[in-house]
Amino acid sequence: MPESIQYTDMDFISKRVQNLASSATLAMSQKSSELRAQGVDVINLSVGEPDFPTPAHIKAAACKAIDDNFSFYTPVPGYMSLRKAVADKLSRENGLSFAPEQIVVSTGAKQALCNVILSTVNPGDEVIIPTPAWVSYIEMVKLAEGHAVTVPTGIDADFKVSPEQLRAAITPRTRMIMLCSPSNPTGSVYTRDELQALIDVLAPHPEIIILADEIYEHINYTGSFTSLGSFPETADRTVIINGVSKAYAMTGWRIGYCAAPLAIAKACTKLQGQYTSGASSIAQKAAEAAYTGSQQCVADMCAAFRRRRDLVVELASKIPGFRVNVPKGAFYLFPEVSAVLGKRFGDRVIATSGDLAMYLLEEAHVATVDGAAFGAPGYIRFSYATSDDNLREAMARIDAAIRRLN
């Protein structure tokens, strides 16, 4: 190398990663931890994770796994006992028929999603993503060099994509559609009829894979859940993503899975075998206990989230300039805030929802996430997976901060 050439740090970073956005949910949460470390009393409504500890019987199973020396490499797609427990769950709760061989256990649903996308999307393939959508979907498609085709929805449509919108988004290059119900970040839950209408559009397109993110399945206040895998017309090309993070308050244990057509499951196993191997042995044994043990903990946590949903909807609806719908699942509220945009706090102009999220962090000490990170500028996201006291205090602080704008 000629000595005169100067290299910057970024020269060492691949274009692939340079082009990738950082996770805004994790970044905002990190920022709020930093402020906390400086002694600022921040209420963190940015990251979405249950605030409950993992149920005792699940923790006990993990301790037993340690004592029983589950300390060796695990099979790449997961222990057969866990894959069987997942197949049983899919049959029992969702009426779906998957063989254990079609289940691939991963380090969180995040890896399961990324495995499926990297295993099926070729450069230039289009992936339809109705927005608002969880921050990582578009970035994972970018990693696969696919093209994310976003289809915007809004609060007036309860954030649901219509069959007409879906039909208009399909092209000869469409490879996949990603759907999340109950949704992060909106909390919307598609009814069976709404899903059927989307399936009717997809049925004549056997080349399109349906990637169904059902991680919030059990945080659902409607009393009914329809898995996208339950439509016979498209079942053979539907991939289900789920895991223990949300339903069993196990975000840190990092266990998720895909249930997929066998060829896709094998491809995910091949991929995972080259870059992470099987997921943690101890966490897999804990997840097995989650699926095979009593499900009372799931119902109890859902009831607590529902109560908080009612509280936060009531309080957020009173904040001037916030338009709020009633989320039917997950633990997020996604108010439309465009009436606040253009207002000022001294010299500071709140021009975008990103400015608003930053203003709320710095002036109200409440961490939220800019809707733009979910492909929906003009909105912000709160997670209400925190105590009633925190929620009351956070909403009071936001309300006061908004009223200080002029």
Over the window 8 to 37, marking each residue x when it contacts ligand GLU by CB under 6 A and - when it does not, the resulting string is ---------------x-xx-----------
Q: Does 378 bind ligand PMP (CB under 6 A)?
A: no
Q: Does 47 bind ligand GLU (CB under 6 A)?
A: yes
Pick one of ligand PMP, ligand GLU, none as the site partner of residue 47 (Cβ within 5 to 8 A by kind): ligand GLU
CB atoms within 10 A of CB 46: 27
Q: What is the DSSP letter of 182?
A: S
Q: Are 23 and 135 in contact (CB under 8 A)?
A: yes
CB nearer to ligand PMP: give 211 or 350.
211
Pick one of ligand GLU, ligand PMP, none as the site partner of residue 256 (Cβ within 5 to 8 A by kind): ligand PMP
Instruction: Select the span of 1-9, 46-54, 198-206, 253-261 touching ligand GLU (CB under 6 A).
Output: 46-54
Q: Does 373 bind ligand GLU (CB under 6 A)?
A: no
| Contacts (Cβ under 8 Å, ≥6 apart) of 373 | 21, 24, 25, 135
φ, ψ at 154 (rounded to 5°): -140, 180
Q: Are 148 and 137 in contact (CB under 8 A)?
A: yes
Q: Does 327 bind ligand GLU (CB under 6 A)?
A: no
Q: How far apart are CA 10 and CA 269, in angstroms?
A: 32
Over the window 178 to 217, marking each residue x when it contacts ligand GLU by CB under 6 A and - when it does not, the resulting string is ------x---------------------------------
CA atoms within 13 A on the CB side of 236: 5
Q: How far apart are CA 334 and CA 130, in angstroms?
A: 15
**Can you give the three-state secondary structure of 117-151, one letter per residue?**
HHHHCCCCCEEEEEECCCCHHHHHHHHCCCEEEEE
Per rule CB under 6 A, count of chain residues that contact ligand PMP? 13
Instruction: Candidates 24, 48, 96, 194: give the one binding ligand PMP (CB under 6 A).
Output: 48
Site for ligand PMP, rule CB under 6 A: 48, 108-110, 134, 180, 184, 213, 215, 243, 245, 251, 256
Site for ligand GLU, rule CB under 6 A: 23, 25-26, 47-49, 134-136, 184
